[in-house]
Structures are given as C-alpha cells and as structure tokens.
Amino acid sequence: MLLTIEGLLSTDEVAALRDELSGAAWKDGAETAGTRSVSVKQNLQLGVTDPQAREWGNGLLSKLGRNPTFISASLAEKIFPPVFNLYQDGGHYGCHVDSALMRVPQADITIRSDISATIFLSEPDEYEGGELVVETEYGAQEVKLPAGDIVLYPSNSLHQVMPVTKGQRICAITWIQSAVADTPARSMLFDLDQSIQSLSVGRDKQDPDVDRLIHVYHNLLRRWAQV
C-alpha cells in the first residue's frame, strides 16, 4: 500500500525546520549505503548521531505519534530515528530495496523495516526532478509532494529517487516496524478502520452495527499482530 498523508507539518513548522537545516553539517550519503547501494547513491545526509539531527528527528517522531492516519496505517511498533537528506546537482538514488533489518546502536535495538516513509521538506517548485518512484503491483508510481506531506510505502518495494537537475530536494526518511508485518493484512485493517471512522459519524456511540465492525477489527488485529 502506497499512502500519502497531507499536512504532517504545517507551513510554519516546515519553514522553522528548513531554517535550522540551513546551517546543518551535511555529509556524503554514501557513508551509510550498503555494499550494493553505494554505487547508486549520490546525496548528502545528516549523521544519525548528530545532536541537532536527533533533536529535529524527535520532533518528527512526536508529530507522527499524534497523527491518527499514520497510526492507523502503520500500526507502528518501532520507528527508526529519522534521517535528513539533501539531493542537488544531479544527486539521485538508483533503484534499490531497503535493508530488512536496521540496527539502532544508541538504543540497542534492531528494527525490521516493514514500512518506509519520506517526509517532504521542499516544495515541488523548488527543484526539478527528484521524484520518488516506487514499484507497486500496479506499476511504477511517481511521488513528489508538497512540503510537510508524507508518503508511506512497503519497505520491500523497489524504489529510487530520480536525479535532481535544479535546486535542492530536502526530505526526512524513516522506517517503521509494524505490529502487523504482512502488507495486505495491514492494508485491510487500515481500510476497515477508516470505514469504521466514517460510519461512526452521526451515529449513537453504542450503535450495534459499528460495534460489530469494531469487534471484527480487533479480532483480526489480534490474529495478525506480532508484539
């Protein structure tokens, strides 16, 4: 499931974060690439141990933890500390798949990547190229969102960032271990939850039909969750 969520960050929040990032100590992104990915990765990143990057990343995690659509779609169990990246001057990331297991040394945990997420921090008209292209069951999907929006997609998907031929593309990326690892099951739970939310509007809080759907939702979650 490829899902976009609008307005994770407000215009003012994006502007404030971009202002802070303007003085960031960017490093070659190839330093964190795997043995095969290093040949197709050309960008700049902030180190995961950078104290400012960790502070900004914690702010993003707080926003994710309060977003009902993200919570419903991801059923997040663990989230990797957000990584800030910058693409410019032809920077790109060729076709690749994200690592299945990601170590977080500072927390002494390992995260299984079920869902990948990109939070856009540059407006689409600030740069040319830079589309995130994700291979899905319906073919390749191009994603280039307004600043403050986020896209979620399965971590096992082949994907790439097209070359940025003008301007700067600044984003934050992260990976989520879901309580429900199976993508189709997680998608069905999300659709069911969204339907329950819609059908609940204007109905009695003890409506038997809504209660029955909630009963089904939680029993499916109980069957599929791994916690």
Q: Which residues carry a binding-site annotation? A: 96, 98, 159, 169
- d(CA 104, CA 107) in angstroms, rounded, equals 6
SS3 for 137?
A: coil
Picking from 39, 15, 41, the residue whose alpha carbon sits closest to that of residue 28 is 41
| Binding residue ranges for 2-oxoglutarate | 169
Contacts of 118 (CB under 8 A, 6+ apart): 132, 143, 150, 151, 171, 172, 173
What is the end-to-end Cα distance of the chain in Å, rounded? Answer: 22
Where does residue 82 rank: exposed (0-12), middle (13-18), buried (19+ CB within 10 A)?
Answer: buried
Asked if 3 contacts 73 with a C-beta cutoff of 8 angstroms, the reply is yes
Measured from the Cβ of residue 155, the count of other Cβ atoms closer than 10 Å reads: 22
Residue with tokens 């974060």: 17
Coarse DSSP helix, strand, coil percentages of the chain, rounded to the nearest 5 percent: 35, 30, 35
